[in-house]
Structure 1
């Protein structure tokens, strides 16, 4: 699928379909292609929008999860969005949590998949052997249950990122910000419907993270996908879409 990236008023984003809005937030290493099957399926009935989060464009001192949440709000205001479903994977889930707490009047429901915010086994914290392609390949494969999901294209993309000094400094700063910003004491304030769709074999944000979110967020439901790692919408797109569909239908 070819994505047409719109560039307007300093924002880069994908928009496809018509109807109620699904606003998707990608992770730290997450290219827009991670959501390919979700866009394909849901743009038939919804307006699917994915803003490119400016992870590599922020001044180093302000690189953090709260800054990304503020950026999302500027984007929401620019697009004049309201009453939307917010869906986030990994770091994008963390940003979605912060956003839902800061601006509850805009968000109708929340979907988290492999979200940080409580505990995560971070991508590295550092990259001691980032110039080693095999090391980076192993790290990317670790994200998934089936290492075959880590295509050469994906590994090449991550290898390029971590060997770009400007980008890797911001990746590490953002990862540290996510680890520092623990939301255990705040998420009970989220009262909108929340779906947790989790890979049962997630090694980055393990199953006990999902269970903790489920315990702490009052109006939440937890769904497992077997033989699946940190990015269910990539590794098990049909099951992810099916669970998402069930949740969205309950909102009607």
Structure 2
């Protein structure tokens, strides 16, 4: 394991811009495990790009595939990129079963099978990081490389459920979201980022608001709570992960402090940790250029 601090201009957009994509042309859905799962599918846009494993992106609690808006176009130049709405979130239907991290992992595995993706580079933020961890530990042949951005899991999961859970649930209250200025530190979404005033309002609106008020949020909170004890001790699962793993954490994460990365770096045999200064819980939105560079190099094996 190695740890390093990286600082790029906060909120600096990457190229090509997410605003130049006709996203409706790339939105898809497929029935997986009895429910309709929505996803976006883009790339590779460079016809001369060498064959590469697809990149599958998983959002956090209360999120949607749009949480990865600044990531998808730049990385889709050289490989296929798929952003998934987990069941009950975004545009995906509620699942038949209670939405738990393990159930989400089964859906991700089934989606990869349905789309015939083969081994993938799997990346997840927050809850999506826990789901990606479960997939990598349970189906190591499916995950070529694993990227975790502030993943939930380990001994801190009970604290997250008690302290962060109510905050995230509060973000789902649409009247509150619309009544408070988006770039205000009083806005519920401000909990997620280090400096909301420095981020593009268009990006915050497009990337964060679509996940609010979805039916899967309270059900997933219940499911996570019921499985909290299981995921408080990840040692056995982490030992089964064979994929090279990149961990990215914000030093200013107010939901999951960067010190909690130790659970993952201690348990995964081949893990590298990068800590980003002055960055919150969604580094892919706060420092797109840095995160995209890290993900691209990691996915390419460098």
TM-score after normalising by structure 1: 0.86
In the TM superposition, what whole-angstrom CA distance separates every residue of 1:51-90 from its partner, at most 9, and x where no partner exists?
Answer: 221135024x622111111111111110112221101111
- Residue 147 and residue 82 in structure 1: after superposition, are their counterparts in 2 closer, same or farther (change >3 A)? same
The reply to whether residue 227 of structure 1 matches residue 278 of structure 2 is: yes
Residue in structure 1 matching 2:114, options 63, 78, 90: 78
C-alpha deviation, 1:128, in angstroms: 7.3
- Residue 214 and residue 45 in structure 1: after superposition, are their counterparts in 2 closer, same or farther (change >3 A)? same
The reply to whether residue 111 of structure 1 matches residue 143 of structure 2 is: no
Within a 5 Å distance, the mapping from 1:19-58 to structure 2 comes to 19-20=51-52, 21-56=54-89, 57-58=94-95
SS for the counterpart of 1:94 is helix
In the TM superposition, what whole-angstrom CA distance separates every residue of 1:103-162 from its partner, at most 9, and x where no partner exists?
Answer: 11111110000110122434324757956455x95431011111234947367546x51x
C-alpha deviation, 1:12, in angstroms: 1.8
Q: Which residue number in structure 1 is paired with residue 235 of structure 2?
A: 185
In the TM superposition, what whole-angstrom CA distance separates every residue of 1:179-209 from its partner, at most 9, and x where no partner exists?
Answer: 4422432212212100001111111121111
TM-score after normalising by structure 2: 0.73
For structure 1, the 5+ residue unaligned runs are none
Query: Is the contact between residue 248 and residue 274 of structure 2 (CA under 8 Å) also seen in structure 1?
Result: yes
Within a 5 Å distance, the mapping from 1:47-196 to structure 2 comes to 47-56=80-89, 57-59=94-96, 62-118=98-154, 119-120=156-157, 121-122=160-161, 123-125=164-166, 127=169, 130=173, 132-133=176-177, 134=180, 138-148=187-197, 149=199, 151=201, 153=205, 156-157=209-210, 160-161=212-213, 166-177=215-226, 179-180=228-229, 181-186=231-236, 187-196=238-247
Query: Is the contact between residue 141 and residue 150 of structure 1 (CA under 8 Å) also seen in structure 2?
Result: no
Cα distance in 1, alignment partners of residues 102 and 28 from structure 2: 24
Query: Is the contact between residue 87 and residue 99 of structure 2 (CA under 8 Å) also seen in structure 1?
Result: no
Query: Is the contact between residue 116 and residue 178 of structure 1 (CA under 8 Å) also seen in structure 2?
Result: no
For structure 2, the 5+ residue unaligned runs are 1-18, 45-50
Which has the higher mean CA deviation after the structures are superposed, 122-131 or 187-196?
122-131
SS for the counterpart of 1:54 is coil
- Residue 193 and residue 7 in structure 1: after superposition, are their counterparts in 2 closer, same or farther (change >3 A)? same
RMSD: 2.7
The reply to whether residue 17 of structure 1 matches residue 43 of structure 2 is: yes
Cα distance in 2, alignment partners of residues 238 and 124 from structure 1: 29
The reply to whether residue 216 of structure 1 matches residue 267 of structure 2 is: yes
- Residue 138 and residue 178 in structure 1: after superposition, are their counterparts in 2 closer, same or farther (change >3 A)? farther
